[in-house]
Structure 1
Amino acid sequence: MSELIFEPEAAGMHTPVAPVDATHGILLYLEGVTVSFDGFKAIDNLSLYIGDGELRCIIGPNGAGKTTMMDIITGKTKPDAGRVFFGQTIDLLKLDEPAIARIGIGRKFQKPTVIEPLTVLENLELAMSGAKRLRGLMTTRMSGEERDRISAVLDQVGLNEQAQRLAGVLAHGQKQWLEIGMLLMQEPRLLLVDEPVAGMTPAEMERTAELLKSLAGNHSVVVVEHDMGFVRSIADQVTVLHQGRVLAEGRLDELQVDPLVIEVYLGGEDAHH
């Protein structure tokens, strides 16, 4: 096995590097955000506000700008115009991707990125210590506090009984929960979750709904999802994106009778889920 490399000065650092000021009740601000790719406006004067501790679902047709929006929040893409703030004081446009992750923004992509040859427990320990600062993963003894945190996350994502199993042999839904657990080890204030129930069984979807709802309050959770049944089961507030801007916002039952929303989105195949 090749030698593990880590950053000594950062070893063990898993807490956000700056306090997040959400005293106004809003954790994430996007204001007047625009980004173009080869002349096409993927995001067009988008303004969006996510409350502290809120669970928000983002829906919209393909090409509505959902992925680009998450790329902007996490620093992968820089907009041409607009403001993006985390709390009152942290300007996300001045930070790169690693810095944004460190201050408490975690992103879960659609395809799980667990490390399959490692156990569930080892995946969580790796996520806690940071991928670039592996503290001799197989040999270092965990502190009691670290052990307690891992135990709490295992319990939260429902993988206690799978702790010693290799991640590669988990069911699809369990891999998704493990990845959410890996994000939780980094103590994010905001979680961005992309299509979490794609390919899941109904029982896995139900468990995922319970998990995401349990995270709200301690975390703000933004879920991009196509499955309307799942959205209905978890979201109080839904935002509809269309052509890079907010088309409508509100409760799903209200949006489902909005003529404009029906025309551009819910009238399509997604309405039948």
Structure 2
Amino acid sequence: MKVLEKFPALKTRLPTRLMTQGGELPLDTGKGPVLYLEDVSVSFDGFKALNKLNLYIDEGELRCIIGPNGAGKTTMMDVITGKTRPDSGEVWFGQLINLLELDEHQIAQGGIGRKFQKPTVFEQLSVYDNLELAMASDKRAWKNLFFKISGEQRDRIAEILELIRLSGHRERLAGSLSHGQKQWLEIGMLLMQDPRVLLVDEPVAGMTGEETERTAELLVSLAGRHSVIVVEHDMAFVRSIARKVTVLHQGSVLAEGTMDQIQQDPKVIEVYLGE
């Protein structure tokens, strides 16, 4: 069912350019999904990476996206974050924000954070300094290079350090952390900006069993306050965190449901789980 049929109020929207004086986007999810892609298609040299993709993400939900290589998972994230412009379709953030009108920087500022598979942290800086640099302050100018953090902001850093289990490593150089710890630090850096939607690409690749378990606990704890979209190939990990799973195949949604439903779906077994 099309989103405009499910939520008629979405037919009347304000232009994206109507932002607050502080530059914040007027996100409103009271009558529909926090994020949706509808009939989105993307072609690269004749290859359809996305083919009329429909995806609807609710406020505060944890969604896992799976599928074989070439299914369109990375292109989907590229479209959401403004890296790739679709040939056709719509991409909306809440009821008011047309993401196709915004660039990557505006989308990131507006509340959509993305964590790539390979962690990108400032390795020559401490864990604490990485979080401080990532803090959402006045992004309209680089004067935040000289700002002095408040007690409230220090408390926020401490909260994030506790959440990502790096409180005991706050003064360590990020480059000395384990692979899993770097992944957690990068998630913490995104959380410093308080995103409404968090895209996480293969978070447990290369992790130890203990790190994988801790990562599962972290992502589950984020759901509710944030909408979390996890792209992952590790089926055991997906099962440990999944509430709802979307399977992509040839750029479209092949199946959607609980992990049990997905694992019993003949179409999914044929094109993915049976590989």
Q: Structures share a fold, TM > 0.5?
A: yes
Separation of aligned partners in 2, 1:18 and 1:242 = 33
Distance (whole Å) between structure 1 residues aligned to residue 233 and residue 74 of structure 2: 13
> Which of 64, 77, 86 is equivalent to 2:84?
77
Q: Give the corresponding residue for 2:176.
A: 169
Partner Cα distance (1:203, 1:16) in 2? 41
Aligned residues: 252
Give yes or no for contact 2:75–2:84 (8 Å, CA) kept in 1.
yes
Equivalent of residue 117 in structure 1, options 105, 117, 124: 124
Alpha carbons of structure 1 residues 99 and 249: separation in structure 2 relative to 1, 3 Å: same
| 2:19 counterpart residue number | none
Q: Tell me the SS of whatever aligns to 2:220.
A: helix
Alignment of 1:195-234 (within 5 A): 195-234=202-241
1:133 to 133, 142, 149: 142
Paired position in structure 2 for 1:6: none
Alpha-carbon contact 1:42-1:243 (below 8 Å) kept: yes
**CA distance in structure 1 between the partners assigned to 2:57 and 2:121 by the alignment:** 28
In 2 relative to 1, CA 90–187 (structure 1 residues): closer, same or farther, beyond 3 Å? Answer: same
Secondary structure at 1:26 match in 2: coil
Pair 235,25 (structure 1): closer, same or farther in 2 beyond 3 Å: farther
- Please say if residues 109 and 193 of structure 1, whose CA atoms lie closer than 8 Å, have aligned partners that are also in contact: yes
Contact 2:26 2:97 in 1 (8 A): no
Percent identity, please: 68
Partners of 1:178 and 1:248 in 2: how far apart?
A: 33
Equivalent in the alignment of 1:22:
29
Conservation of the 8 A alpha-carbon contact between 1:154 and 1:160: yes
Aligned counterpart for 1:33 among listed residues 31, 35, 40: 40
Partners of 1:87 and 1:16 lie apart in 2 by 17
Q: Is the 8 A contact 1:126 1:134 kept in 2?
A: no
Name the TM-score, length of structure 1 as normaliser. Answer: 0.89
Q: 1:57 aligns with which of 57, 60, 64?
A: 64
User: Contact 2:26–2:96 (CA<8 Å) still a contact in 1?
Assistant: no
Farther-moved stretch of structure 1 (250-259 vs 206-215): 250-259
Structure 1 residue 83, shift from structure 2 partner:
0.4
AA partner of residue 18 (structure 1): L
Q: CA deviation at 1:145?
A: 1.5
Superposition misfits of 4+ residues, deviation over 2 angstroms: 129-137
| In structure 1, distance between residues paired with 2:215 and 2:23 | 26
Q: Which residue of 1 aligns with 2:14?
A: none
SS at match of 2:183: helix
TM-score of the aligned structures, taking structure 2 as reference length: 0.89
Contact 2:65 2:229 in 1 (8 A): yes
List gaps (5 residues or longer) in structure 1.
1-14, 269-273
1:86 aligns with 2:93: yes
Show the 5 A alignment for 1:229-244: 229-244=236-251
Distance 1:146 1:167 in 2: 20
In structure 1, the partner of 2:158 is 151
Say if 1:32 and 1:47, in contact at 8 Å, map to a contact too: yes
Hey, what's the Cα distance between the residues in 2 that align with 1:172 and 1:70? 23
1:102 to 98, 103, 109: 109
Residue 150 of structure 1 aligns with an amino acid whose one-letter code is I
CA contact (8 A) 1:129 1:135 kept: no
Deviates more, 1:141-150 or 1:101-110: 141-150
The equivalent of 1:271 in structure 2 is none
| Distance apart, 1:26 and its partner CA | 1.1
